[in-house]
Structure 1
Amino acid sequence: MHPENGLPENSPTTRVFVALAPPDPAKDELARALGPAYAAYPRMRWNRIEDWHLTLAFLGEQPVAAVDLLRAPLAELAASRAPLSFALTGGGHFDERVLWSGIEGDLEALQLLAEEVRALVREAGIAFPERRLRPHLTLARTRRDDPASVVEVAASLSGFAGTAWRAARLHLVASNFGRGPGPIRYRDVASWAFRDPAAGGHSR
């Protein structure tokens, strides 16, 4: 990674997305609930706790120069919006391959924020896959020969209800998805604080 901008050094492109991230106490709660599953299913590809995030817009592989165009508009957007409140709850899976925890809270405002983020990306002239927003926190991926593990862990999370938290920052994140057999790794390219509600001012 380039030490100054968080982007890959000596690479013309990077895989990026825009996201929110739970605070450490919320992540620690869920990690404790997952403790038995970590021990029972060590072959699952568990995401690192520090990498847990709530994706607003997945942009895919993009030129580094294009990613830099997003910094100013995303910073302005974050500064004009108050933090949103959420809680992690329950669990589920996609196609018996991807394990996730659910999200509840300011979901309507989350949808609006995601639409604004995507509009900014389009205005910057960046093409990206337009995926429907499905609020969730990806926790792990299973191997093709062991789909039962994801189903069982998702069922074990059915009663999980985390403490409410506020998303304090908007994150632009790069990943190494598809680059090697190991777990996916993520790194902040940049992040920006949302408007402090105590400071007053306009927020849509």
Structure 2
Amino acid sequence: MNDQIQPPSATATTRVFIALAPPDDAKEELARELRPSYRTHPDLRWNRIEDWHITLAFLGELPVSAVPLLRPQLAALAAAHRPLELALRGSGHFDQRVLWSGVDGEIEGLHLLTSRVRAVVRECGIAFEERPLRPHLTLARSRRSDPSSTLEVAATLAEFAGHTWRAERLHLVGSNIGRGPGPIHYRDIESWEFAK
């Protein structure tokens, strides 16, 4: 399709991305490592564990009417793709403000899946900003201009090595970011199982 769908301001929109989500046991393993930091760094805005994800394509605000275009194509992509073996490893930060955990394992396969997901989005005629894939889970953001908490927690997690797990589902996710005060919450719009 040549026509790009642009979110018109008068139309209902939803903030959307496509992602993988670690299983609960992998998230809990990392959360155990973070518990001391939760107590010692309450100044950070910690993401909820149930919202941890690896973003493959961030689509931003889309018209609600654009979401159904993605469903059949993402379902077909997932059905043709095998699960990936991944692990959570180490930590770091973006601009000293955003704390993250790194991702290890089948990174080449993760890049290939990402390129296929983004190709599907383009084929659906949906415009989005293509950012380079930097596989990570966002854990927290600093509340103030003082980055010391972010740097300290990143240093304590630098040697973290979680167990290997299988990414078995592709998730189309919506968020409430920018819709009033309070924490960001994510919800699955739909998810699809990868081929067995």
Scaled to the shorter chain, the TM-score interval is over 0.9
TM-fit CA distance, 1:101: 0.2
Would you say the 8 A contact 1:46–1:139 is kept in 2?
yes
5+ residue gaps in structure 1? 1-10, 197-204
Would you say the 8 A contact 1:20–1:55 is kept in 2?
yes
Would you say the 8 A contact 1:46–1:183 is kept in 2?
no
Q: Tell me the amino acid that sits aligned with residue 24 of structure 1.
A: D
TM normalised by structure 1 equals 0.89
Q: 2:34 aligns to what?
A: 34
Aligned mates of 1:171, 1:162 — CA distance in 2 = 22
Q: 1:4 aligns to what?
A: none
Find out whether 1:128 has 2:128 as its counterpart.
yes
Count of matched residue pairs: 186
Would you say the 8 A contact 1:173–1:188 is kept in 2?
yes
Secondary structure at 1:67's aligned position in 2? helix
Secondary structure at 1:69's aligned position in 2? helix
Q: 1:180 aligns to what?
A: 180
5+ residue gaps in structure 2? 1-10
Secondary structure at 1:120's aligned position in 2? helix
Q: 1:24 aligns to what?
A: 24
Q: Tell me the amino acid that sits aligned with residue 33 of structure 1.
A: E
Aligned mates of 2:144, 2:38 — CA distance in 1 = 18
Q: 1:94 aligns to what?
A: 94
TM-fit CA distance, 1:129: 0.8
Deviations 1:119-140 (A, max 9, x none): 0000101001111111001001
Q: Tell me the amino acid that sits aligned with residue 20 of structure 1.
A: L
TM-fit CA distance, 1:143: 1.1
Aligned mates of 2:162, 2:192 — CA distance in 1 = 25
TM-fit CA distance, 1:168: 1.0
Secondary structure at 2:130's aligned position in 1? coil
User: Following TM superposition, where does structure 1 have runs of at least 4 consecutive aligned residues deviating by more than 4 angstroms?
Assistant: none
Q: 2:143 aligns to what?
A: 143
Secondary structure at 1:96's aligned position in 2? coil
Aligned mates of 2:180, 2:99 — CA distance in 1 = 21
Q: 1:83 aligns to what?
A: 83
* Residue identity (%): 68
TM-fit CA distance, 1:24: 0.5
Which deviates more, 161-170 or 11-20? 11-20
Deviations 1:120-166 (A, max 9, x none): 00010100111111100100111123311000000000111000000
Deviations 1:73-115 (A, max 9, x none): 0000001111001000110000011000000011011101101
Q: Tell me the amino acid that sits aligned with residue 169 of structure 1.
A: R
Q: Tell me the amino acid that sits aligned with residue 26 of structure 1.
A: A
Q: 1:51 aligns to what?
A: 51
